[in-house]
Amino acid sequence: MKNAPPASQSFLSVRLSVSGWAMVVVAISVAAWLFTLIFMSGMDEGPGTPLHQLPVFLAGWVVMLTAMMLPSELNYIAAFAGMLRGRGTARAVRIQRMLGFVAGYGIAWIAYGLCAYALDGLVRAVSPRVIAWDHAGPWLAGAVLVLAGFFQVSSLKHVCLKGCRSPFSFFQLHWRAGNGGAIYMGFKHGLVCVGCCWALMGVMFAVGAMSLTWMALLTLFMFAEKVLPKGQKLAIPIAFFLVAMGIWIAVSPQTAPLLQDPLMYDGYCRSL
């Protein structure tokens, strides 16, 4: 016991470990945003933006997930890093566990992206005019935003958001050992996160999958909900904003802010 470090020193070492992982998350998120700004700028064709071939979509989807979702996972990553450190897990093993957790989380969201891609392809194949901006497109986009707004105040949203804000409770309930356990916990948490944010991410497909403005706005919403001390109370203001924007887009799409007009984009392309 003579050589054991003081409790305050052990606590400090855990905090340093957690801060290190937080800095890694921030650095990766910033890199993803820079990549998005450099390579995806100007690709926004507004609502109905084509999703391209599946490999291209998946590559872009992973970059978007990294930029949009990773910042809101700071609490979970910090908690997991702290728990591994507290259990005396070796540094190399901790890195493996952390990577496994993030991979499991990503699998859940990639599955969501594949479902959204399939649904988008089905709609375009069955009735392309439904998404055409000079036909039912504004009503469809507006309906998606209104649906997302109503989901914000649903009981499922409340339960999933509470789960996203309670990392220690989650790990106590679902802890699994080993690298496989880390992947399992990441996937399990990813499903909860999908349950919380599927409607907000669905807004991206409605307003334009390459809209940097909406990417930044939705990232801010999800980060605030999950990370800020009173973030759960923001669900209602976000709901009002989404419903108001949805109605505005459906009724007067030409005056709706934060939105690229697909008809103007098409006219510009034809003039080239």
Query: If you write DSSP's letter for every residue of 44-75 in order, what string do you get?
Result: ---TT----SHHHHHHHHHHHHHHHTGGGGHH
Q: What is the pLDDT of residue 10?
A: 38
Expressed in angstroms, the distance from the first to the final Cα of the chain is 77
What three-state secondary structure class fits 250? helix
Phi, psi of 51 (to 5 degrees): -90, 0
Indicate whether 272 pLDDT > 50.
no
Segment 53-69 mean pLDDT: 92
Q: What is the pLDDT of residue 162?
A: 94
Task: Examine residue 20 and state whether it is found in any structural domain, yes or no.
Answer: yes
Query: Assign residue 175 a region: left if phi > 0, alpha if psi is -120 to 50, beta otherwise?
Result: beta
The tally of domains found in the chain comes to 1
Residues 18-27: tens digit of each pLDDT: 567 778 888 8
Please tell me the distance from the alpha carbon of residue 7 to that of residue 150, in angstroms, as a whole number: 48
Q: Nearest Cα to 224, choosing from 212, 233, 211?
A: 233
Buried b (16+ CB within 10 A) or exposed e, 56-83: ebbebbebbbbbbbbbbbbbbbbbbbbb
Task: Examine residue 36 and state whether it is found in any structural domain, yes or no.
Answer: yes
With bands split at pLDDT 50, 70 and 90, how would you rate the model's confidence at 252? very high
Residues comprising the chain, all counted: 272
> Alpha helix (H) ranges present in 69-177?
74-86, 91-126, 137-152, 155-164, 167-174
Please tell me the distance from the alpha carbon of residue 127 to that of residue 136, in angstroms, as a whole number: 11
Task: Examine residue 270 and state whether it is found in any structural domain, yes or no.
Answer: no
Q: Give the CA-trace dihedral at 85, 88, 94, 97, to 10 degrees.
A: -100
Please tell me the distance from the alpha carbon of residue 262 to that of residue 268, in angstroms, as a whole number: 10
With bands split at pLDDT 50, 70 and 90, how would you rate the model's confidence at 12? very low
Task: Examine residue 263 and state whether it is found in any structural domain, yes or no.
Answer: no
Please tell me the distance from the alpha carbon of residue 10 to that of residue 29, in angstroms, as a whole number: 29
Residues 185-238: tens digit of each pLDDT: 999 999 999 999 999 999 999 998 888 999 999 999 999 999 999 899 999 999
Q: What is the pLDDT of residue 171?
A: 93
With bands split at pLDDT 50, 70 and 90, how would you rate the model's confidence at 270? very low
Angle at the Cα of 227 (from 226 to 232), degrees rounded to 5?
50
Query: Assign residue 48 a region: left if phi > 0, alpha if psi is -120 to 50, beta otherwise?
Result: left
Segment 4-12 mean pLDDT: 39
Task: Examine residue 169 and state whether it is found in any structural domain, yes or no.
Answer: yes
Q: Are 147 and 245 in contact (CB under 8 A)?
A: no
Predicted TM-score (pTM) of the model is 0.86
Q: What is the pLDDT of residue 11?
A: 38
Q: Are 161 and 225 in contact (CB under 8 A)?
A: yes
Indicate whether 246 pLDDT > 70.
yes
Indicate whether 37 pLDDT > 60.
yes
Task: Examine residue 89 and state whether it is found in any structural domain, yes or no.
Answer: yes
Q: What is the pLDDT of residue 221?
A: 96
Rounded to the nearest 10 degrees, the angle between the axes of helix 54-68 and helix 91-126 is: 130
Percent of the chain with pLDDT over 70: 89
C-beta atoms surrounding 155 within 10 Å: 7
Q: What is the pLDDT of residue 130?
A: 84
Please tell me the distance from the alpha carbon of residue 182 to that of residue 180, in angstroms, as a whole number: 5
Q: Which domain holds residue 211?
A: 7-256
Residues 91-110: tens digit of each pLDDT: 899 999 999 999 999 999 99
